[in-house]
Amino acid sequence: MAEYDMVWHDDEWFDSGWFRLLPTQGDQLRMIALNAGRRDLTGSLDYLVLTLDQGTFDRRTGGMDAEVTWGEPYEARPGHIVGATAKERAWRRDVCIAALETSGYPVPVTVRDLADTMEMLGLLTVTNRGKPSEKWRTEKFLPHPDEVLTLSDDWLQDDAKTRWALALADVTSAFWELQDRRRSAAHQPWRTSISKIAKSTEHDPESVRQMLGLVCRGDYYGDVEHWGVEISTVGHEGPFDADPERILRSKTIYFRFITPPGLQAALDDIDRIFGPGRSKKEN
């Protein structure tokens, strides 16, 4: 099949929340159903996989009879952190299993089982199962996980934070690019305004305001080398405690960029081992 006839990326799946909850192979099952609908194909999942692109499917899932995993996504949408720790992956697995069991759905063992679970959840549809006219499809827009499952508050809060980060990924990236271009070696505060940032990044001021709320709380997603942000409306000396939601667009503001927690911990370790100030002297 010609490559240009295939759907290779699906923003609705990445934005739906299921991508962050179900086993990793769920996104490939979604793609199979999307492409089957695009081509108006019928047949079993095995036939669809063989017809559409078995090599890619097997490489990304392990095959229909492989065990499901809550590992790394094959592809992440811009603005989504990759490199999740084993602890984070285990947490996602435990949340998913608990939600399925609590809501009365079977916990999948294999990719084939996962397809059946997704069908029960309303993420895939199948008609004429077991017949030559068997048809697997999926809707463009899916129900949110908490509309189908009983989920923990921790997961819902994490999902809400991720949704905001994804929605503001473009303006966040533009902000960091702008900051990288003007960052001084001494990390001096940056004097600007919400309106000026909006003009420089070509984003609307309210998106900039929402983005600043994320980065000031540390809820942004991106390169781990990015610095945290604090804002003052008084001057270069602070105090750096301004709330972006309360700042007028034209009000002059001052940014102070602070060391990310992970980098700060590493610097503290250097100081602890070699003595205070050693990390600064050697930079």
Per-residue model confidence (pLDDT) at position 111: 94
Per-residue model confidence (pLDDT) at position 4: 44
Tokens of 21: 């909850």
Taking only the tens of pLDDT, the chain with its 283 residues reads: 444 466 666 777 877 889 889 998 998 999 999 999 988 999 999 999 888 887 888 888 888 999 999 875 444 444 444 445 678 788 889 999 999 999 999 999 999 999 999 999 999 999 998 888 999 999 888 999 999 999 999 889 888 877 777 777 788 888 888 877 776 544 567 889 999 999 988 999 998 988 888 788 765 544 444 567 888 898 888 888 888 888 999 999 988 877 666 556 666 666 566 665 544 444 4
Per-residue model confidence (pLDDT) at position 230: 85
Q: Are 139 and 13 in contact (CB under 8 A)?
A: no
Q: Report the alpha-carbon distance of residue 164 to residue 174 in Å, rounded.
A: 16
Helix (H, G, I), strand (E, B) or coil at 274: helix
β-strand pairing of 228-232 with 135-137: unpaired
Residue 10 backbone dihedrals phi, psi, to 5 degrees: -140, 95
- pTM > 0.85: no
- In sequence order, what DSSP letters do the residues of 97-153 get, joined into one string? HHHHHHTT-PPPSBHHHHHHHHHHTTSSEEESTTSTT-EEE--SS---GGGTS---H
Q: Where are the alpha helices (DSSP H) in the chain?
A: 11-16, 26-39, 45-61, 86-102, 111-120, 153-167, 169-182, 194-201, 205-217, 261-274, 278-281
Per-residue model confidence (pLDDT) at position 219: 58
The DSSP bridge partners found for residue 258 are 228
Tokens of 89: 């992956």
